[in-house]
Structure 1
């Protein structure tokens, strides 16, 4: 029985459901470039996202967060597992069905410098999807829609004739957001959308995403490596470690009473604005293990402050500790 099989009944009611998703990348070596190993980038991930909510997906670099997001959109092919969007199995869609799915599912990339084509004007970048999906009947309607999108994300109409290099990082990310909004999607995968921006600009972009969610009824999968970034925008938070989800909970629950030792460690690094409140920083031992050869049993046992011998041999199930709060630990919850 799969650890989240009890959630199977919610699959039809969720906008997006992911079940036991796995993505293994081949490692090639030698003169003949034979496959010599596998990177276990995503190693059995399951979660649901309801319409209109934001699921924050958090973990250290290299834990498989972005790979999960790209698999959901079929930008890269999953090795196994199920992905359902509005009840339709994304993993079984052909090219025609995927093209139509692109209208409903969009992505905002991490690096606004690399994700915009430097040879195209902002108007061409934002309007490209309108052309691909035949969403504007005339050139005038196309231009009016581009102007409307730019204004929606806080840019000026005359920006459409300029090129990406003329804009700051925050403005470029707004262009990326406008591009994602062009096709009126239902779900947007936000792949670390503020991590390349100055801290002073991060809050502006997150506030914009929150406003747009309210205005257009959007659903977000918000990927970040920093718990402080997703605190206010997330309805629920899933914590990932080395290809696996170790805890899922409503945002307030996770911040107030984290159950998994890894979640506790991540949370201990989040600054508290009240100088009278002191939080004990939890320093984890060692580095994140190599995903080519992850630890046996619980992947976290090599760094866990409460690990016991059987943690190295038994894989903990993701189980519901209390209503809506799931944790993958033998000795917590």
Structure 2
């Protein structure tokens, strides 16, 4: 009983909960985005999820330039720019825990990304959406990297199964292998990225090499007793991993470990505004999405290796 009570008090840091999601697994789902990630992908569309603690966002669109946040900041971390919009010293603001600037803003120009939930609180939140899941929906844990909060995610997944929820995860697979194999026992569906087959190029754009990621994906494919579904994904980033050689090598790896499908996702700039809200420079502001013809070509390369290949969200899942 003491252990049970202790587990229920474990808290997970979550930066978003998205209801009625139709692209993060089968059916209609609720997607839970957990903070923290072992990677630093330069194109990340959820940069607020890279933080392992709550972080302040500043919306230029909502800011009325009233100066209220400047007046209340006890750390003198906010100054006035040339256009009278506040400038935040991120070396102070990113680790602030008192958030006077958020409480003083009447226009929601400043907000906090990241909220702590206990397991019971999150189960209750998921149960609110459950009537809309239908027969094939469920919950998807994404991020960030949902498996990084080890003390929270395992008992959370166990609680989901106790409540007969279909569970999907979107993961980097860049975690400890023992933790990886323990977690998947409570997961029905896994999406995992293969960003590049070359370790050095992988590190240049992602921050770490890819050996642990590929090892875990192969370990997953070897689990004969596990009855779940694995869908490797390739985020297609022009001039990084969209060359024929890398796509072919990725397809061969997936085929050789016994998997049958790849989902290729064209680059997009959906997360661009979040970088501005975090006071960070977005490096891909002039990068266009791959042409449809290029995506079709990449699909043909993958299908020539005997695999199914789906482009973007035009999938049966």
Q: TM-score, normalised by structure 1?
A: 0.29
